[in-house]
Amino acid sequence: MEIDTEALMTTISAYAAEYGLNILAAILILIFGRWVCGILTKILRKTLRRAKVEETLVVFAGNITYGILMALVVIAAIAKLGVETTSIAAVFAAAGLAVGLALQGSLSNFAAGVLLIVFRPFRNGDFVEIAGTSGKVDEISIFTTRLITPDNKNIIIPNSTITAANIINYSAEETRRVDLTFGIGYGDDIRKAKQVLETQVNAESRYLEDPAPVIAVAELGDSSVNIICRGWVKTADYWDVYFAMLENVKLAFDKEGISIPFPQRDVHLYQVPAVEAA
């Protein structure tokens, strides 16, 4: 079977005349669109960095923006070829819905991660208590947050759990108050005990002068008179002062003969006469 070369060339020329410009335009749209997407993504990242947004969010936002813009460029190029894009958009929408339902938990963690990065209730290095777990924040990612406990355990917490619970940030402020309660016996001298506490507070140089420490009788308990000792320290000195005061006050009380009573209870026994048998 012989091929009619002249007819074939005529057909090719007709198709080239009809679709050649559209194909060329589609290619140019892809090339130029990709270049524009890159420029816009760079501008977005620079703007976010100038606003001092967390780098993790900057990278993620840039990638998402670039992907969305490129999808629009591809749709525009396909439309230039004369293909109906309504069905393509419907397919993308259906696929997005299916992915969203399948990754519902992950999307919840992602949304929570964005909130944590934007509003910054804590930063890397802060000591926090989240969902009943305490530790130093080691990494805040889009989906999870990692804590390191004082005994060097790594704990990974989903971000959605964090935003749904109370967050206690012990490192947010520069100073913290050390609250201590010391119980003495009812037979001990209250004024002497307060003088001992005041001496120990004055000897602890890490206490801040303003606000001044407070020493006062707080409660007449069941088996002890409870005296509070409250003073402000720098956040970094909190635990050192806490442990030092417990030890020093106990030693000082022992030296001055001030007792720290154990919980006790008086039990009274009543003897009931035996009932004589009839």
CATH of the domain at 195: 3.30.70.100
Q: Residue 110: inside a domain, yes or no?
A: no
Domain count, the chain: 3
Q: Residue 12: inside a domain, yes or no?
A: yes
Top pLDDT among 219 and 77 is at 219
Which pTM does this prediction carry?
0.61
Q: Which residues pair with 148 in a beta bridge?
A: 136, 154
Q: Residue 111: inside a domain, yes or no?
A: no
The secondary structure element, H or E, covering residue 110 is: helix 104-119
Q: Residue 107: inside a domain, yes or no?
A: no
Answer whether residue 99 shows pLDDT above 60: no
- The contacts of residue 48 (CB under 8 Å, 6+ apart) are 57, 58, 61, 62
Amino acid sitting at position 34: R
Closest CA relative to residue 144, chosen from 159, 122, 126 = 159
130 and 58 together in one domain? no
10 and 90 together in one domain? yes
Q: Residue 263: inside a domain, yes or no?
A: no
38 and 24 together in one domain? yes
Residue 140 belongs to what domain range? 121-169
Q: Residue 114: inside a domain, yes or no?
A: no
Pairing between strand 225-234 and 175-184? antiparallel
For residue 17, the 8-state DSSP code is H
186 and 126 together in one domain? no
List pLDDT tens digits, range 40-87: 889 888 888 888 776 767 777 777 788 888 888 888 887 777 766 666
- Res 244: pLDDT: 95
